[in-house]
Amino acid sequence: MKKLLLTALCMMSMLARADEGMWMIGNMSGNTWNHLHQMGLELTPEQLYNPNGPSLNGAIVMFGGFCSGVVVSPDGLVFTNHHCGFDAIQDHSTTRHDYLKNGFVAKRLNDELPNPELYVAFHLRTVDVSDRVLSCIKSDMDEQMKALKIDSVTQVIHAEVLDTVKCIYGEVTPYYRGSKYYLSVYQRYDDVRLVFAPPQSLGKFGGDTDNWMWPRQTCDFSVFRIYAAPDGTPAEYSTDNVPLHPVSYAHVSTQGYQPGSYCMTLGYPGSTDRYLSSYGIDNTMHTTNDLRYSVRTVKLAILDEAMKQSDQTRIMYASKYASSSNYWKFSLGQNKALQDLDVIAEKRALETEIDRWARANGKTQYIGILDSLRNLYAENFNNQYTMTLLEESFYSGSDILQFTIRQMMRRLQDDDETGALQKAIEKAYRDIDIDVDKKVFAAMIKNYRRQAINRNYWPDFIGTIDSLYASDVDRFTDYIYSNSKLTNRDKLSSISSFEDIYADPMFDIAVSVITKIYECYEPTSIDEYERLLGDALRQMNRNTEYYPDANFTLRLSFGIVEGYSPSPTTNYVHYTLPQSLIDKYEQNPHNYDYQLLPSVYKWLKKGKFGNRYVDPELGQMPLCFLTNNDITGGNSGSGMFDGKGRLIGLAFDGNWEAMSGDLKFDNRLQRCIGVDIRYVLSVIEKYSKAKRIINELTLE
């Protein structure tokens, strides 16, 4: 009995922490591998990650530098999220061919649509280069000199692996805030074509209303294909290119899952800061989240009103709105979760424990860290607050001002300066409505004045508004938009060189903004003290295996299929069904986020989803499901795999109650929301009649 109890306690301990973590699959301990296999993984380490041959790792792609995806066919089909493919879908949409609203199906290879600025990258291998990078650092160097030395060494390492013919490149990335460095080697493919997109009323069902929420019914997927030269090497878009035959691709399971089933995700989580100090968390709440939410509230209201007035404007701003609103809501949710879960108090208790350990064990390098962090964050608060307010108000405000700032910063290094500038103008202004932009421009200035700490933190042009325009922002805006070539479509073509932008009144505003940002930037030792705090935690708990924070490198997260209880009176099951989607539509006739195309509604009501996509125990087709896997931004589009390494879903969101997850993972509440692959396949085959896509897959 005692032996059984001990075994049970060990298993409970394992499961309690199994869901947390974004692990480097080529750098996991034997103990962690044992946990994976005890939970249900049937693959060997080599089947999961093998830099010298086929493995599941070889089917995972970095999608566009901002999402993840999974290769699912021997002809280079890639599944990712709808919101990851949203830019590409929008780029091909017009009022005549509204692929956002109605969806898109390429009936033949020749119908698949190229996307000149979209790429995917395969992860080839990861190498520890910590000794080589850190050996250049001397104890007497200041932070600026350290950064220069590290950059110098990493550029040499990058050059050593660069192969421009095969499009192989490397990226050296810091881990544990610079205590370790790893080189990730990738192969990039630049010919990626759109194959399939569901109607937005499926692919984005729920919109802002349901974003970061459960229950969900969003069929958040899109399909692309990777093309290569006839010899299989990466190539720019060409009609001569052929579908890529990848080294590995994922098989797709229609068998589903049960509560407690093993599930793992493989993808590119963007950024977490789980080892951040309590002072850093407090700073994030008040300099980043508060401002991001309040400033974007103003901008999004203007865009929302304009998008509802015309289909052309809706298509033009669809991707920008979705991108901005995503982290607008995230900022609100993260602050709420941090407060509800009392994360700062929990961090302070841990920091007190670390300080006591350091003092008791004579770890002088860690004594006084907390006092330094508290003082540094307090001293730098005004500057960080102002930089965030400047960036949100002006760099992320008016698109025309943002374009001007970008051109100023880039200084157009291209040899063909005129051609490059006109190309940049053509791309940027394709999705700019001058009248809408003007409203945003004025609103951002007014809001900045309200939220700035004091006049000392105003860019110079705001002082000009007071002195020359009697504080009338609208009159100043009228002058700028009447006299700038950058705000007049008829005059854009007359911009023949970068000097024309220098002479533009919008350029003066851009200079004013960037100047103020630089004035607010003061190098501090905050990052170094945060790094030392993390080192102290790992030293204090030497027997604990700590995963590194996410940094948009390939990671594995593992857990189980599981619902959750956000309150004593609420219990969520781990799946949703078609009737729940129908109910949202029928019961919320005035909510734009729940609107359905008539054809989609008819299909859902008929319930002809395909027998092989119906769960045998539920007797219905599941839509979305929950696991306790770790997830953050960048994980979108990550494959969700069962213990045999078969694709069962695509990760696309986290849940509202655990929005603190980037800073503190909560084992009880944190969940990963995925779209069930059977829902995806049914939409492709039964709703859209795209049987040729299904025929490419290996279904099990």
Residues annotated as catalytic (active site), given as ranges: 83, 220, 636
Rounding to the nearest 10 degrees, give the CA dihedral for residues 131, 134, 136, 139. Answer: -130
41, 611 Cβ separation under 8 angstroms: no
| Tokens (6 digits) for 84 | 């990851």
- How far apart are the C-alpha atoms of 184 and 24, rounded to whole Å? 11
CB neighbour burial string for 295-312, b if at least 16 within 10 angstroms, e if fewer = bbebbbebbeebbeeeee
Q: Please name the amino acid found at residue 440.
A: V
Q: Which residues pair with 197 in a beta bridge?
A: 104
d(C-alpha 658, C-alpha 667), whole Å:
9
Residues 242 and 228: beta-carbon distance below 8 Å: yes
What percent helix, strand, coil does the chain show, rounded to 5? 50, 15, 35
- Cα gap 353→300, rounded to integer Å: 44
Look at the block and give the residue holding tokens 């298993």.
11
**216 closest CA partner among 473, 640, 532, 563:** 563
Which residue stretches of 526-588 are H helix?
526-540, 578-587
Q: Report how far residue 274's alpha carbon sits from residue 256's, in angstroms, rounded to the nearest whole number.
A: 32
DSSP states of 284-347 as a string?
Answer: IIIIIIHHHHHHHHHHHHHHHHHHTT-HHHHHHHHHHHHHHHHHHHHHHHHHHHHHHTTHHHHH
- Half-sphere exposure for 574 (CA within 13 Å, toward CB): 20
Concatenated DSSP letters of 160-219: HH-BTTTTEEEEEEEEGGGTEEEEEEEEEE-EEEEEEE--HHHHTTTHHHHTT-SS----
418-451: buried (b, 16+ CB within 10 Å) or exposed (e) per residue? eebbeebbeebbebbbeebbbbbbbbbbebbbeb
In angstroms, what CA-CA distances link 280 with 327, 374, 549, 668, 670? 19, 9, 15, 24, 22
Q: What contacts 432, CB < 8 A, 6 or more positions away?
A: 316, 399, 400
Helix (H) or strand (E) holding 12: helix 2-18
Q: What are phi and psi of 19, to 5 degrees?
A: -80, -20
The answer to whether 195 touches 97, Cβ cutoff 8 Å, is: no
Bond from prior residue into 215 cis (ω within 30 degrees of 0): yes
Residue 19 per-residue DSSP state = T
**In this structure, what token pair is assigned to residue 150?**
């590290």
Q: How many residues does the chain have?
A: 700
